[in-house]
Amino acid sequence: MRIVLATPLYPPEIAEPGPYIKELAKRLVKLHKVTIVAYARLPEKVPGVHIVAVDKRQPLLRRLISFFFALLHAAREADIIYAMNGASVELPVALLSLFMSRPLIIRIGDTAAHERARSGWLRSIERSAFARAHRVITDGPAPRPEILPFEAFPAEKLGAYERSWEEHLRMLEDLFTHARS
């Protein structure tokens, strides 16, 4: 499958959904062709994954337009678009659906952005994107436990983390397959 991941945040940005998208790409690329379209400047690389970075330091309108065209280009060959919530991604994906029909799944990974979209124009943008999505999900894997020097190695927590990713990937694979059919 050819998957496009669209995200407002990406490492070195430490806030979610940045680390989630990087980890997801690392895992998906073992079986699929993955492209990330992200607001970033010098994104952390993932072997085998094509990353299209849209510089956040541009003025708002210019970066929205850049992101839209980057997404449009990436989506041409995509089987599925998996987008993270946030107005800066929701607006381009909603616009994109006017030009091409690609299955869209949206994940609410940035709860603060979702909270901000309770009223006003942010709400309209979010609603418009959600209305065009095949599914809107909130599921996610467990956060990666830290390995801390003065504590026991978190073997159990790391095991649970791995299992949560396996489960999450299974759910996504089903969702992507279902969305395409």
Partner 1 sequence: MHAHNTQQEWEDYRQRELRAAIPILEKLGFELESEQPHTGGERFLMAGARDVGGGGYKLVLLGTRRADGKRVVIKISSDKEGIREICTERKARETLQTLKFAYQMLRAPEEVLYATHGAHIIFITAYVEQEQAFLSRPIAEQFSLALQAFKAQESVHATAYSHARAIRTVFGIWGVQEYLDSFDAFCAAAAGNDSQDRALAQSLAKARAFIVEHRDTIEQYCGFLTHADFVPHNLRVHEGNVYLLDSASLHFGNKYEGWARFLNFMLLYNRPLERTLLQYVHDNRTPEEELSLRLIRIYKLGKLLEYHTGALSKTAGNLNTLSKKRVEFWREVLESLIDDRPLSQEVITRYQRERDSLRSVEEKKRQEALH
Strand ranges for the chain from DSSP E: 2-7, 33-39, 50-54, 80-84, 104-107, 135-137
Closer by beta carbon to partner 1, 44 or else 77? 44
The structure tokens listed for 70 are 């980057």
Residues that bind partner 1 (CB under 8 A): 11-15, 39-42, 44, 56-60, 63, 146-150
Q: Starting from the edge strand earliest in sequence, which strands make up the sheet with 80-84, in order?
A: 50-54, 33-39, 2-7, 80-84, 104-107, 135-137
Closer by beta carbon to partner 1, 120 or else 149? 149
Closer by beta carbon to partner 1, 115 or else 146? 146
CA distances from 157 to 41, 145, 150 (A): 33, 6, 16
Q: How far apart are CA 53 and CA 59, in angstroms?
A: 15
Closer by beta carbon to partner 1, 45 or else 163? 45
| Minimum distance from residue 10 beta carbon to partner 1 (Å) | 10
| Minimum distance from residue 107 beta carbon to partner 1 (Å) | 20
| Minimum distance from residue 8 beta carbon to partner 1 (Å) | 10
| Minimum distance from residue 87 beta carbon to partner 1 (Å) | 13
* Cα dihedral across residues 44, 60, 4, 91: positive or negative: positive
Closer by beta carbon to partner 1, 39 or else 68? 39
The structure tokens listed for 85 are 């919530």
| Minimum distance from residue 119 beta carbon to partner 1 (Å) | 18
Q: How far apart are CA 160 and CA 19, in angstroms?
A: 18
